[in-house]
Structure 1
């Protein structure tokens, strides 16, 4: 192997992780995106210890992994909807007001933050993980009263990815997936537009009949 090839190999190896023994490849696939997206902020912000009370805003591909990983860490997890219909319910959950240590906000669309800030306890954190390209607004007293923080996290590092995979293997965490063949991809996109997937599609390339 010449020097140039060695440099390429070393560079690529920095972005490769070993799938733990016994973990199915179709299960590992969503963990490498949705799994580390929720594991990373819990790890970075010191929220891995058991006994915490957390909220997951939005129950989609990322949100459902947030529920599974947080519960595996021993957290009491509340699932919160961002829909207009259920937003009022969140505000009316007086028993949850000022009670959550953190909320992982997975919603990738503009939405008000006040209803969810009100659910956080002293020093609670609202962690944004959904990519939103329009300005978001909130009233500063909602943050000032309770010394709350609004922060964000985007996917995670290679180190966190390795830690997340080992954690999921150890705790038996698996994602809810639907395995499809290549000839179903267009239909899958149609279903994605209708939010008709629980909670991740995984394409079985090896098992698909591909034209030579």
Structure 2
């Protein structure tokens, strides 16, 4: 067992500060990673403020982890000391239930072990995340990271990347498909990049005209100003797929009207209140409204390989860990383009 430097939340709505966590000794199937960078996800903010309830303190957030392998267990086969590696939202699952057998560990029917504010599969040991100097994770949940990519900008791929890649793959996005992306933030900017790399014709759908220039730089071919009612008439029946990344309340029915017959709209954002959906919005056109979480380990590795092939990383602002509380406040004001990443060397 070793001690790792970290930043932790000690109670809801209090600033994060320095802390030390105990990391387990490297077992036969374990990989130890010296963390170089950790992305800040909006869910980190929800968790440390206990907005989703069930927070366990002290809490070390962070599930967008990249770094270098410093030790491996005797039975580890895919990694050796010095390799680049990553850890996303999951650190273990039961591996035997029907979901795990389908490589959908995120839906483990016995409850996956998440990277922080969760428990290991023994249901006793609390997990601590990537706002720390090191982590020990079983090999099956460690991901290979290509040296072709900027390491700091790769970190958010472990959540924002897979969260948007998974529905694009599930709905078989291909060259010539028309894809709409609702909201240009941490998730939305990745959805634009990935859909464009898959060959889709991408339209950014935003309430802010100021987002158009960035959207086009990121790969969007078109822009729809959704604060203008005319946009919904102009784009009616246009899209094969809509990726909705917005967590603020908005009218799903209006966006369902933008789908072609048998088109699909996938929800990634979680508004605080339920949103009414009219049956007619789905029935007239046999349209699909669905949701998506992250992805399993196999799909996450596929995403990282795809990003390496197409030179895709997140747009980031790299900050020292001591600025994490300021970053949280800026996130609430949407004052980041498009993801904060902590430089863990500053610990």
Q: Structure 2 residue aligned with 1:57, among 182, 200, 215?
A: 182
| 2:98 counterpart of 1:76 | no
Q: Deviation of residue 88 (structure 1)?
A: 4.3
Which consecutive residues of structure 2, in runs of 5 or more, have no partner in the other structure?
A: 1-25, 31-72, 77-91, 93-137, 209-224
Which consecutive residues of structure 1, in runs of 5 or more, have no partner in the other structure?
A: none
| 2:111 counterpart of 1:15 | no
Q: Deviation of residue 93 (structure 1)?
A: 4.1
Q: What do you get for the CA RMSD once the two structures are aligned?
A: 1.9
| 2:42 counterpart of 1:42 | no
1 or 2, which has the higher strand percentage? 2
Instruction: Determine which structure has greater relative contact order: mean sequence separation of CA pairs < 8 Å that are 6+ residues apart, divided by chain length.
Output: 1
Q: Deviations over 1:10-58 (max 9, x none)?
A: 76112110101222221210111101001001112222x1110001111
Q: Structure 1 residue aligned with 2:159, among 22, 33, 37?
A: 33
Correspondence for 2:262: 123
Correspondence for 1:180: 319
Correspondence for 1:5: 27
Secondary structure at the residue paired with 2:188? helix
- The count of aligned residue pairs is 202
The 1-side partners of 2:271 and 2:232 are apart by: 26
The 2-side partners of 1:92 and 1:28 are apart by: 34
The 2-side partners of 1:200 and 1:178 are apart by: 6
Q: TM-score, normalized by length of structure 1?
A: 0.88
- Conserved 8 A contact 2:206-2:227: no
Q: Flag as ranges the 4+ runs of structure 1 deviating above 6 A.
A: none
1 or 2, which has the higher helix percentage? 1
The 1-side partners of 2:141 and 2:260 are apart by: 37
